[in-house]
Amino acid sequence: MEMVKKAIKNVIENKKAEVVQVKIKSKKEGLIYSRVHIFPFISKGKVIGFFGIARDITKRLLVKEELDKTERKYAELIENFPVGIYRTTPKGEFILANKALIDMFGFESFEELSKLNLERNGYHPDNPREIFRKLVEEKGEVKNYEAKWRRRDGNIIYIRENAKAVKDEEGNTIYYEGIVEDITKEREAEEELLFRTKELQAIFSAIPDLFFRIDKNGVILDYMAGKGNDLYKKPEEFLGKNLMDLFPEPLNENFIKQIKNALEKNKVEIIEYDLEIAGEVRYFESRIIPISSEEVIGIVRNITSKKIWERQLKESEARFRTIAENALVGVYIRDEKFIYVNPAFCKIFGYNTDEIIGKIRPEDLTYKEDINSIDIDIEKRLKDDSPEKIEIFRGFRKDGKIIYLECYSTLIDLLGKKAILGILLDITEKREAEEKQKEYNKKLNKLLDGIILAMAKIVEVKDPYTAGHQQRVAELAVKIGEEYGLDKEKLQAIQVAAMIHDIGKIHIPAEILTKPGELSPLEREMIHNHPTFGYEILKNIEFPWPIAQIVLQHHEKIDGTGYPLHLKGDQIMIEAKIITVADVVEAMSTHRPYRAGYGLARALDEIISHCGTWYDEKIVHICLNLFKEKDFEYSLKI
């Protein structure tokens, strides 16, 4: 009854009705629950009395308790169901999802999953959710619908789902609910099998050889031919026929003999022969391979080109010498010493042919410090399994001048021995031009640094209270980026963006920037626009990094309460997140026209208090560690 007394007191003091829920012991009913409404009697502004209405709600509470138990059991069943269960709005927003479905997408919790819009980001572009939605709306449900979903990590999974549209009394869709099965492994297995089948078909169709399965008596049982141009007869003329009846003597007898040898000795037999096909003589090599005691595989290869090549080899050697002798690049053949050099090679080094052939070794022409960086030893080239090489090194001319050389070489067979055939280019002028370009790039980078520093100084001239602010923010931000593990490109982007992150303040009157008192709403809005002003200044400058975007985002917060775009989480660039933390720490530590500096401890408390809401958690921890464990200090003192 204490609750009733307290409610009566509140009615008298506040002159407003009160509602309380009480437990009452009844002789007949036992313990019952009652909801009491207490109303005041008010006369001339004073409470002169009150009256109450009590309602027995015992049954309602008991029913609710049973419903809660049932709902918990149902929720537990859904949560532990081995396949995904979901409920979404027609627009793709998640209303409900069990653990299996959350796991499918690679999220840790429903809260994370609920940020994903299934319509915009969940489906693969190959089969957009629009197709699924039209089917459900037309038929009321879909069964065994297969699609591709995009996981949190960007990987694609294949799913099969049964879903239906739940509608209100007027026929409007309230939500979709469905059951989803991850069939990625099943689909990948099917695709792998299909790929392997096509791969084998492609391999056989690409191989120019003919394959025949032949029994021990010489009967052709089966065949496979990527290209049938070299078939001696049509398949219907040779399948099931004996080799003795298909080929002329003595080739047919030789085939039967070699099949018998292959089966008896269990080894590969090779036959070379020629046949007239389509009015021309073609040369073939047939390898007879035993696959059982009863059958062999015959692999037939057209070696007509090889025979022609052998005949043309001598002509080719003569042509090679003609081409090499007139080439504008150095050409050589060598083993331990030079066997052949062309006139261009001699010109590069300033020797004549007689001074080089058989007398000079490759290392004699190589700058001493570069000898170990190139493969001079042929045996080493063989062991390294590197028949082809591209090498750049320094060499010596006969007159002692050092030159830069680019060498393309490969291993060849020369009269039964391994040798190296190479092409040599004198790239001395090219290398000197590259060095000049490097020096020019250094000057450009130095000029860029000067421009960035000048832009930073412009802001300081406008707002002298922030002198050195951007430089210190850049120093801290880069250090955080290094600890974060960012690559060199991102660190450079952070350095440049941080140095000019407040460039937009040049559009804000100095009297506002240095105003010692509280800002008006209009003045505050102008301050909040400085990232946008900065973006407009920088957007058309072709930096190697997205500087304008970083500057635009450097006051965004991960919960969306920042400005000017109210971006959230991963919508904000990592560079901007880092600069945000560094900016807050430096700004709070230093004096401003409207307040004294809070000091480092207060600044660190600020980022701790908003860790995970305004500021990225990992970045905050790195920043704290820099100051507390690694004794970070600004090079430009505050």
CATH assignment at residue 149? 3.30.450.20
Q: What is the mean pLDDT of residues 358-381?
A: 80
- Whether residue 597 is found in the same domain as residue 613: yes
Q: What is the mean pLDDT of residues 293-321?
A: 83
User: For the segment 2-45, what is each residue's pLDDT rounded down to a tens digit?
Assistant: 777 888 888 788 888 888 888 777 777 677 878 888 888 888 77
Can you spell out the DSSP letters for 425-494?
A: EE-HHHHHHHHHHHHHHHHHHHHHHHHHHHHHHHHHHH-GGGTTHHHHHHHHHHHHHHHHT--HHHHHHH
- Asked whether residue 569 is assigned to any structural domain, the reply reads yes
Is the pLDDT score of 563 beyond 70?
A: yes
Given 265, 281, 302, the domain boundary residue is: 302
- Asked whether residue 200 is assigned to any structural domain, the reply reads no
Number of H helices, E strands in the chain: 23, 18
CA distance 214 to 296: 5
Average pLDDT, the chain: 86
- Whether residue 500 is found in the same domain as residue 390: no
- Asked whether residue 615 is assigned to any structural domain, the reply reads yes
CA angle 86, 572, 602 (to 5 degrees): 115
Q: What is the mean pLDDT of residues 524-537?
A: 91
The answer, yes or no, to whether the previous bond of 387 is cis (omega within 30 of 0) is no
pLDDT band at 462; cut points 50, 70, 90: low
pLDDT greater at residue 67 or residue 132: 132
User: Rounded to two decimals, what is the model's pTM?
Assistant: 0.40
Taking the C-alpha atoms of 321, 325, 330 and 336 in order, what is their torsion angle to the nearest 10 degrees? 50
């046949």: which residue's tokens?
A: 275
- Whether residue 364 is found in the same domain as residue 472: no
- Domain residue limits at 548: 441-628
Q: What is the mean pLDDT of residues 322-343?
A: 88
- Whether residue 391 is found in the same domain as residue 452: no
- Whether residue 180 is found in the same domain as residue 211: no
Q: What is the mean pLDDT of residues 273-300?
A: 91
- Whether residue 611 is found in the same domain as residue 531: yes
Tally of domains within the chain: 5
Can you spell out the DSSP letters for 108-177?
A: SSHHHHTTSBIIIIIB-TTS-HHHHHHHHHHHSEEEEEEEEEE-TTS-EEEEEEEEEEEE-TTS-EEEEE
Given 187, 221, 247, the domain boundary residue is: 187
Is the pLDDT score of 75 beyond 70?
A: no
pLDDT of residue 377: 67
Minimum mean pLDDT among 329-338, 445-454, 468-477: which range?
Answer: 445-454
pLDDT band at 577; cut points 50, 70, 90: very high
Given 236, 271, 302, the domain boundary residue is: 302
- Whether residue 463 is found in the same domain as residue 407: no
Minimum mean pLDDT among 218-222, 283-287, 506-510, 593-597: which range?
Answer: 593-597
User: For the segment 345-355, what is each residue's pLDDT rounded down to a tens digit?
Assistant: 999 999 999 99
pLDDT of residue 375: 67
CA distance 471 to 636: 8
């920042």: which residue's tokens?
A: 562
- Whether residue 500 is found in the same domain as residue 572: yes
- Whether residue 407 is found in the same domain as residue 451: no
pLDDT of residue 138: 92
pLDDT of residue 92: 92
